[in-house]
Chains A and B, each alone.
Chain A
Amino acid sequence: KQEVTQIPAALSVPEGENLVLNCSFTDSAIYNLQWFRQDPGKGLTSLLLIQSSQREQTSGRLNASLDKSSGRSTLYIAASQPGDSATYLCAVRLQGAQKLVFGQGTRLTINP
């Protein structure tokens, strides 16, 4: 059974720092991995989608990497801002199954 783990569960850093969020998964048989952002009481906003054949994707200050063989992904946020405060979720799309498996999320707080 695929399990997705995100570490840390919560992170608080001062504004301007670069930071890394971690996601690990137990089964490498995935089509892709997707990072989402969720603000309190809101829906999920897709940040980055990495296909299983790719190593990384970038969007603005965000960079996500994928090492499928080791079952790891990282989300790098450069020059963090208070507006980056949210919960970040990673999810893998399983091969042979019509579903996403989510991690529990990392709750990020950026302090001004």
Chain B
Amino acid sequence: NAGVTQTPKFQVLKTGQSMTLQCAQDMNHEYMSWYRQDPGMGLRLIHYSVGAGITDQGEVPNGYNVSRSTTEDFPLRLLSAAPSQTSVYFCASSWNDRGGGYTFGSGTRLTVV
């Protein structure tokens, strides 16, 4: 089925560990993005990309890195996990035009202890 695939679905990390959250889409969307969802804070944009080789920061980029080597994949790297990064992470993609709607993945629930 076409869509956005995120792995893993659940992850527990110790403070200071690093990891990569994977995101892949098969709709040939130019635009991909990462959001985090926290109680009382809603969904906030971490990083986004408008095409292969192009990335930019969103509202809450600190502690995260991204790269976009292909159209399909947009991994999110946590450099040194902190308890404040405990959250649910969503990847989303869309056509990079003003009319495009967003398709979201099923999320990764991350706990940092």
- A and B pair up: yes
On whether the beta carbons of A98 and B90 are closer than 8 Å, the reply is no
CB pair A102–B98 under 8 Å, yes or no, is no
Within 8 A of A (CB), among B58-103: 58-59, 90, 92, 98-103
Provide the main secondary structure of the chain B interface.
strand
Contact check: which of A49, A91, A99, A103 meets B58 at CB < 8 Å? A99
Closest A residue to B41 by CB, please name it: A104
Bound CA–CA A91/B104 (angstroms) = 13
Interface size on B, residues (CB 8 A): 24
- Cβ B101 vs Cβ A49 within 8 A: yes
Q: How many residues of A contact B (CB 8 A)?
A: 23
Chain B hits for A91, CB < 8 A: 43, 102
Residues of B whose CB lies within 8 Å of any CB of A are: 31, 33, 40, 42-43, 45, 48, 50, 56, 58-59, 90, 92, 98-107, 109
